[in-house]
Structure 1
Amino acid sequence: MNTDQLKQEIIAYSKEIGIDKIGFASADVFGELKERLKRQQDLSYQSGFEKGSIEERTEPERLLPEAQSILSIAIAYPSKMKDAPKGTKEERRGIFARASWGLDYHVVLRDRLEKLAAFIKEKVPEVQNKLMVDTGELSDRAVAERAGIGFSGKNTSIITPEFGSYVYLGELITNIPFVPDEPVNDSCGECAKCIDACPTGAIVQGGQLNAQRCIAFLTQTKDFLPDEFRTKIGNRVYGCDTCQVVCPKNKQVDFHIHPEFEPDNEVAKPKLKPMLRISNREFKETYGHTSGSWRGKKPLQRNALIALGHFKDKTAVEEMIAVMNNDPRPVIRGTAAWALGKVGTEEAYKAIETAMIKEQDDQVIFEMQKGMNFKEELTAK
């Protein structure tokens, strides 16, 4: 088997099926990453969404015993929305991060990788392959960096020379010994814009992220959002793009190559009030195709309530009262009470007081008290 020729054929085929960039890496142990992950674990900086043990995440042979090479792919997504709708005082809007615009990227990249794997198997019938996208054990970013897709920025994103950091990543482990590509020798230099701009200080230092403080992670949690982050998330319903938006390497970067990643503006910048009363069926029909739906509607509804409180949206008071009184989920009832307190109308405060009398859940009562505390703060001023 001529692996050099096969490599060129794979590169050519990857372009045919809509892969914007492909790189080849060795399947050696990711030693530096292993040490970094151990430090992250010791510091409790991990999100908890990670799959597999540290060994599985850094030793490709644990995932494919005959592993020789890893193919890394990148597919670009848009950074700007055409004709983006603007929120009004009567209809406030939230925002989904760019990585959740259009069709769920896991579906798209898995399709591309499966086609790539089938192409290789046609050429080499005895090949062994294992593919993964985001939810697999391997670090997409570590593989992409080794394969020369881009360099790892201070914001912990892979930054490509062509598409900035607005790329989705996936990989294919194989037992074919391809000649690895050279890593990209670029860097952030002295720039620290992402570190300075991070709303919660989640980027501890260049290349080190405390996921527990990252808004992209926090918007996906299902419990009450800690108080210190509620004023920070603004109108973000899912995810956060701040560290990408401020990056000079992303200046003027906006690629609309793949129709499946074009956002439906009403989904990517949804009206907040309708999100409060959306049924499971409606949620699935409206948001089910996006990557932002994977945790269900609860986190997004909680975030929508916080956003309405952030906007002090008086037009939403009646609906938030209904949520506080009738929703069966304590996190949603309690967050509604907190948001009502933030809006701060007399009607809102009276509703909280009335609801507190019959509320049985201690956490919800605690949130109701927080809501009432806003009234005391206003009076004190």
Structure 2
Amino acid sequence: MDIRQLQEEVIAYSKTIGIDKIGFASPSPFTEMKSRLLRQQELGYQSGFEEKDIEKRVRPDLIFDQPHSIIAIAVAYPSKMKVRVVSKKGQRRGIFCRASWGVDYHHVLRNKLKKLEEFILSKVPEARFKSMVDTGELVDRAVAERAGIGWSGKNCSILTPEFGSYVYLGEMITNLPFIPDAPMEDQCGSCTKCLDACPTGALVQGGQLDSQRCIAFLTQTKGFLPDEFRDKLGNRLYGCDSCQTACPVNKGKDFHFHPETEPDPEVAKPLLKPILHISNKDFKEKFGPVSGSWRGKKPIQRNAILALAHFKDDSAVPDLIKVMQEDPRPVIRGTAAWSLGKIGGEGAKTALENALVQEKDEDVLVEVKKGLDFFRESQPATR
């Protein structure tokens, strides 16, 4: 087997199936990443969504028998919508992050990796693979960095010269000894625009993220959003792009190579009020195909309620009152109560006063009182 020729054939084939960038890496342990992960764990900066066993995250030989190389791939996605919808008074809209605009990227990349596996098997029947996208043990970013896909930016994303950070990443461990590519030099320099743009200060320093403060993580939680983050959420329903849009490398980067990554504007930037009452069936039908739906409708509904408060959308007051009075979930009722207080108005105040008497759940009552406090704070001071 001529490994160099096979590698060239793999690269050429990858372009025919919509892989925008491909690289090859050694399967040796990711020792530097291990140190960083241990530090993250020590500081409590992990999200909790990661693989718990740090050794598996940095040692390919623990998850694959006799690995000889790793193939890394990147697929570019759009940063702008071809068809735009506008948020306006009475018809306010939320927003999903760009990585969740098209069909769930896990499916998109797994499909491409599967095709790559089949191509290699047609050339080398004894080849073995373990492919993964995002939810696998390995750290996608570390593999991509080693394989020369891009450099690891201060915003904790892989930055490629061609596509910026608007790329999905995947990798494939194999028993074939592909020739490693050289890693790319860091090109962030002294720039700190991503750190400055982070709404919550989650980017502690270049390359270090406190996931517990990251809006992208917070939008995926299911409980009450901590008070300090509610005003910072804006109209985000899932994810956050602030550190990407602030990055100079991403300026002017917008690629529409793949139909499956194109957003449906009514899904990527949906009207907020209909989300409050959406059924499980309708939620699955509308939002099920995108990656931002993976935690179900509860976080999206909670975030929609907070977004209405962000806009101070008084047209949503009747909807929020109905949610506060009738929704069976305390988190949703309580968040609606807080948002009613934030929006204000006599109708909201009366509903909150009634809820103070009728509501039985202690956590919801705390939110009702917070809502009423907004009215007291807005009262002019008396001498």
- Unpaired runs of 5+ residues, structure 2, are none
Size of the aligned set, in residue pairs, is 381
Residues 280-359 of structure 1 correspond to what in structure 2 (within 5 A)?
280-359=280-359
SS in 2 for 1:51: coil
Residue 35 of structure 1 is matched in structure 2 by: 35
> How far apart in 2 are the matches of 1:212 and 1:378?
31
Query: One-letter code of the match for 1:204?
Result: V
Q: Does 1:218 align with 2:218?
A: yes
> How far apart in 2 are the matches of 1:224 and 1:52?
25
> How far apart in 2 are the matches of 1:35 and 1:80?
37
Residue 174 of structure 1 is matched in structure 2 by: 174
Post-superposition offset of 1:83: 2.9
Greater alpha carbon shift after TM alignment, 117-126 vs 159-168: 117-126
Residues 164-203 of structure 1 correspond to what in structure 2 (within 5 A)?
164-203=164-203
> How far apart in 2 are the matches of 1:374 and 1:186?
47
Post-superposition offset of 1:78: 0.2
Query: One-letter code of the match for 1:99?
Result: A
Post-superposition offset of 1:2: 1.1
> How far apart in 1 are the matches of 2:310 and 2:380?
20
Matched-pair contact (CA < 8 Å) for 2:153–2:186: no
> How far apart in 2 are the matches of 1:102 and 1:32?
33
> How far apart in 2 are the matches of 1:149 and 1:259?
23
- Unpaired runs of 5+ residues, structure 1, are none
> How far apart in 2 are the matches of 1:121 and 1:52?
32
Residue 122 of structure 2 is matched in structure 1 by: 122
Q: Does 1:46 align with 2:46?
A: yes
Residue 143 of structure 1 is matched in structure 2 by: 143
Query: One-letter code of the match for 1:272?
Result: L
Residue 362 of structure 1 is matched in structure 2 by: 362
Post-superposition offset of 1:369: 0.5
Query: One-letter code of the match for 1:43?
Result: L
> How far apart in 1 are the matches of 2:41 and 2:32?
14
SS in 2 for 1:130: strand
| 1:280-318 deviation per Cα after TM superposition (whole angstroms, max 9, x unaligned) | 000001000000000000000000000101111110000
* Identity over aligned pairs, percent: 65
> How far apart in 2 are the matches of 1:350 and 1:324?
12
> How far apart in 1 are the matches of 2:299 and 2:158?
27
Normalised by the length of structure 1, the TM-score is: 0.99
Q: Does 1:70 align with 2:78?
A: no
| 1:77-125 deviation per Cα after TM superposition (whole angstroms, max 9, x unaligned) | 0001123111111100000000000100000000000111111112111
Residue 250 of structure 1 is matched in structure 2 by: 250
Matched-pair contact (CA < 8 Å) for 2:302–2:332: yes
| 1:299-344 deviation per Cα after TM superposition (whole angstroms, max 9, x unaligned) | 0000000010111111000000000000000000000000000001
Residue 159 of structure 2 is matched in structure 1 by: 159
Query: One-letter code of the match for 2:20?
Result: D
SS in 1 for 2:379: helix
> How far apart in 1 are the matches of 2:17 and 2:239?
28
Residues 260-271 of structure 1 correspond to what in structure 2 (within 5 A)?
260-271=260-271
> How far apart in 1 are the matches of 2:4 and 2:51?
33
Query: One-letter code of the match for 2:261?
Result: F
Greater alpha carbon shift after TM alignment, 351-360 vs 321-330: 351-360
Greater alpha carbon shift after TM alignment, 351-360 vs 5-14: 351-360
Residue 55 of structure 2 is matched in structure 1 by: 55
Q: Does 1:87 align with 2:90?
A: no
Post-superposition offset of 1:380: 4.2
> How far apart in 2 are the matches of 1:83 and 1:46?
36
